[in-house]
Structure 1
Amino acid sequence: MRERVDASAGLQLRSWQVGDASAVLAAFADPLMRGQSHEPVDSARAAERWITARGDQWAAGSGYSFAVVDGGGRVLGQVCVGPVDLRHGTGWVSYWTTAPARGRGTASRACRAVARWAFDDAGLFRLELGHRTNNPASCGVARAAGFAVEGRQRQKLEYDGVRYDVELHARLATDPEPASS
């Protein structure tokens, strides 16, 4: 399977590299990224472990994580399909962007590209993603990437002692390609 995908002019998905550790560390220092990793990414070593774990998931076929980079190779975020269920041809899409990349369509273009990759290269049929209902920006990313709303998962996530509902979206390999933004 390809580990490099063109997302659109000036935007590319590629496998994570050890040299991305400083960008990963900076991304996780952003308060909006709090809770986006199972373990704190608060040191260069932790960032390297985070990158290594992405490679391990790829090798095991349990998840496919891409660095989202601009034409100069600067890390703008991540898009991932995982966990993957090959038996049923399904995967869960997640994404994040660095502060400078937010609000520019980076995440939606990356999600469109990873969906096409997942359907064409990874052989998946159904992709799902979810976001807290109090996160309209993430909902906009999902919709722009062609993920239809399927429902609400009540109080699914807990952050700092507060429970949040999650809106579930899905995209099928047979769905029409979303319009580019």
Structure 2
Amino acid sequence: MEPEPLTLTSARLVLRPLDPRDTDAVYTAAQDPDVQRWTTIPSPYLREHARGFIELLAPEGWATGSMFTFGVFLPDGPLTGVLSLTMRAPGTAEVGFWAAKEHRGHGYTTEAALAASRWAFTDLGVDRVEWRAEVGNEASRAVAKNAGFTLEGTLRSAINNKGVRRDCWLAALLPSDLGLPSTAPYLPAPPPAAPSGG
């Protein structure tokens, strides 16, 4: 049974499903060239794109259990960004996010990523949250690093952004990184043996 759309809270934020009243805020924030450059949203981004995302794509993701999308808000209302958890494989979700330009630099996206990951670990049975971003997206990489994700490497030709295949960074957060139990035992690989002198 898929989880019903719900609201998460953190120290400074409210993460809730988007609804039609958020259309203008999402449309306005998505006009930022950085959001259009580094994410796979359409460019140019039209009001109808915001409507389709909020009224069709996001609710469908909740209904099918394939993608859980939250608007990230300050308690008094303003949208600071959007965050989604997309189920990639059994026990694995991928976090994706963008931040409204005027709300960057306050740690909101890091806080939201941690809140959503904690929920995925405790309520969705997820044992691994992955983060991917196109190589060069230093702002996204900083969010992942600040949230405690471990960088695992670079994947060649792993993102298709507006018809162009690009390399991406891959990082992951595990329940144990947040002091939480896994649904299945985790046996890490032993560290490589040190070369013997001779």
TM-score band by shorter chain is 0.7 to 0.9
The yes-or-no answer on 1:45 pairing with 2:48 is yes
The answer (yes or no) to whether the contact 2:42–2:162 under 8 Å persists in 1 is no
2:68 maps to 1:71:
no
- Stretches of structure 1 that go unaligned for 5 or more consecutive residues are none
After TM superposition, give the deviation of residue 174 of structure 1 in Å: 2.1
Is the 1:28–1:41 Cα contact (8 Å) retained in structure 2? no
Match in the other structure for 1:57: 61
Q: Could you tell which deviates more after superposition, 44-53 or 69-78? A: 44-53
Is contact 2:134–2:168 with CA below 8 Å preserved after alignment? yes
Residues of 1 paired with 2:50 and 2:136: CA distance? 28
TM-superposition CA deviations, 1:20-54 (whole Å, max 9, x none)? 00011111111112153454573333211111211
Aligned to 1:151, which of 147, 150, 153?
A: 153
Task: Please give the residue correspondences for 1:111-130 in structure 2 after superposition, counting only pairs within 5 Å.
Answer: 111-130=113-132
In structure 1, how many angstroms separate the alpha carbons of the residues matched to 2:101 and 2:64? Answer: 31
Sort the Cα spacing of 1:132 and 1:63 in 2 relative to 1 into closer, same or farther, 3 A: same
Deviation at 1:78, TM superposition (A): 0.8
| 2:138 aligned residue (127, 136, 139) | 136
Aligned 8 A contact 1:25 1:41 in 2: no
Greater displacement, 158-167 / 96-105: 158-167
Distance of 2:117 and 2:67 partners within structure 1: 13
Task: Give the drift of 1:121.
Answer: 1.6
Distance 1:170 1:24 in 2: 27
Count of aligned positions: 174
Q: If each structure's strand is expressed as a fraction of its own residues, which one has the higher value?
A: 1
C-alpha displacement at 1:7, in angstroms?
Answer: 2.1
The amino acid that maps onto 2:45 is D
Aligned to 1:92: 94
Measure how far apart 1:115 and its partner are.
0.3
Equivalence for 1:5: 8
Q: Are the structure 2 counterparts of residues 93 and 43 from structure 1 closer, same or farther at C-alpha, using a change threshold of 3 Å?
A: same
**How many Å separate the matches in 2 of 1:107 and 1:41?**
24
Relative to structure 1, the CA distance from residue 83 to residue 39 in structure 2 (aligned partners, 3 Å threshold; closer, same or farther) is farther
**TM-score, normalising length from structure 1?**
0.86
Q: CA deviation at 1:124?
A: 1.0
**Contact conserved, 2:16 with 2:71, CA < 8 A, in 1?**
yes
CA distance in 2, matches of 1:45, 1:136: 30
What's the RMSD between the two structures over aligned residues?
A: 2.1
Structure-2 residue corresponding to 1:16: 18
Question: What SS does the corresponding residue of 1:71 show, helix, strand or coil?
Answer: coil
Q: Is the 8 A contact 1:127 1:170 kept in 2?
A: yes
